[in-house]
Amino acid sequence: MKYDYLIVGAGLYGAVFAHEAKKAGKKVLVIDRRDHIAGNVYTEEVEDIHVHKYGAHIFHTNNKNVWEYVNQFAEFNRFTNSPVANYRGELYSLPFNMYTFNKMWGVVTPEEAAAKIEEQRLVAGISEPRNLEEQAISLVGTDIYEKLVKGYTEKQWGRPCSELPAFIIKRLPVRLTFDNNYFNALYQGIPVGGYTKMVWNMLEGIEIRLGVDYLEEKETLDALADKVVYTGAIDAYFEYKLGVLEYRSVRFETEVLDKPNFQGNAAVNYTDAKTPWTRIIEHKWFEFGTQPKTVISREYSSEWKVGDEPYYPVNDKKNTELYQEYKGLSSSQEKVIFGGRLGEYRYYDMDAVIASALEKCKDELGN
């Protein structure tokens, strides 16, 4: 065998595994069917701005080990995610906090805000929510639901909130402080120079072949390595023989604008039902850009079908059971490690996918 490991997928899972395997003295080949590395965290340079091609990515974690790990490969800036909600031209701070409540009701103190929410919850009088609409109103009252939750959620799921199950919203975080920081994370930022550069640094000195689809040349590629780390879709690996695992997809419309500032913030969510996009990302603000132009991406939530880019796994009962069946099949593939968001059919944040790859490396390589 020419290689100890063939790594299918140059996303974060594959890149971490490849880096650790090389460090352990193993011979590694990384392939990806796309024409670039970095998987879904790929950033592409447009007008000197790092554009997050597969959706906005903000690194945030409470895991100190993972934070130190990624800091070997990139310096992180101090970007803090503070999205703004645009409801028919009215702007509100997210997540729901004292700035939001002051704008919504004119309340000034946390007691006034808490009393207002409580008053609306009581008026709604919902004790056992039967759907997402009732669940949201029972948690935050009608005003926040109508202006900031309803339209956005309906666009995301493509169905009225009254027809969506209540369990989707277990809680809606309400902060009685003036704090627009979206994530409750100790560490947060964007890699200076973009994610692609960070992943290049992880893959330094490792052989990479791009534009190679593993499943199309499986036999030939398998013959090259003792073991395979597969981070593609698990159902595709088994030729969908038990059925297709479903995803929710997103469509992006990206535009270069001949002006330095379009919306003054990295993310603006459109929370009314009429605006067809869910949000607009202005990429330069992830890195405090000073370029003369700007690049924006409108995001549209969409149904997914085989062949579309898979984004969010649908973790309902049907798909979870189907995944368990595929997972059962995967144990018969002794030579193959299935990992990452597609290989494990699971929504992973970046820090979690890195932690998962590092854990696997410990078992496999003793690192």
Q: Just list the catalytic residues.
A: 171, 175, 248, 279, 299, 347, 349
| Interface positions, 288-347, toward ligand FAD (CB under 6 A) | 311-312, 340-342
Query: At 285, is the secondary structure helix, strand, or coil?
Result: helix
Among 17, 20, 40, 74, binds ligand FAD (CB under 6 A): 40
57 binds ligand FAD (CB under 6 A): yes
From 37-45, 115-123, 268-276, 328-336, span contacting ligand FAD (CB under 6 A):
37-45
State which of residues 26, 28, 39, 150 lies at the interface with ligand FAD (CB under 6 A): 39
What is the distance between the alpha carbons of residues 235 and 247, in angstroms, rounded to a whole number? 12
Does 245 interact with ligand FAD (rule: CB under 6 A)? no
Q: Is 353 in the site for ligand FAD (CB under 6 A)?
A: yes
Question: Residue 31, interface with ligand FAD (CB under 6 A)?
Answer: yes
- C-beta closer to ligand FAD: residue 113 or 357: 357
Q: Which of 87, 96, 152, 214 binds ligand FAD (CB under 6 A)?
A: 214
Judged by DSSP in three states, 84 sits in strand
41 binds ligand FAD (CB under 6 A): yes
Structure token digits, residue 196: 């692609």
**Least gap, CB of 120 to ligand FAD (angstroms):** 31
Residue 273's contacts (CB-CB under 8 Å, 6 or more residues apart) are 150, 151, 154, 155
Note whether 149 binds ligand FAD by CB under 6 A.
Answer: no
Site track for ligand FAD across 74-113, x = CB under 6 A: ----------------------------------------
Segment near ligand FAD (CB under 6 A), from 6-14, 103-111, 193-201, 277-285? 6-14
How many residues touch ligand FAD under the rule CB under 6 A: the total is 35
Q: Are 244 and 305 in contact (CB under 8 A)?
A: no
β-pair type (3-8, 49-52)? unpaired
Interatomic CA distance for residues 109 and 125, integer angstroms = 25
**Given the structure tokens 């790990």, which residue do they identify?**
69
Distance in angstroms (rounded) separating the CA atoms of residues 214 and 210? 11
Which three-class secondary structure state does DSSP give residue 334? Answer: coil
Q: Which of 6, 7, 8, 322 binds ligand FAD (CB under 6 A)?
A: 8
> CB neighbours of 153 closer than 8 A, spacing ≥ 6?
132, 136, 161, 164, 168, 169
DSSP bridge partners of 306: 308
Residues 11, 14, 18: CA angle, nearest 5 degrees: 135
Min dist CB 223 to ligand FAD, Å, is 16
d(CA 251, CA 254) in angstroms, rounded, equals: 10
Asked if 148 is part of the footprint of ligand FAD (rule: CB under 6 A), the reply reads: no
Buried b / exposed e over 275-311, threshold 16 CB at 10 Å, is bebbbbbbbbbbbebeeebbbbbbbebeebeeeeebb
| Span interacting with ligand FAD, options 18-26, 49-57, 111-119, 286-294, rule CB under 6 A | 49-57
Q: Shortest approach of ligand FAD to residue 40 CB, angstroms?
A: 4
Interface with ligand FAD by CB under 6 A: which residues?
8-14, 31-34, 39-41, 55-59, 213-215, 231-232, 250, 311-312, 340-342, 348-351, 353
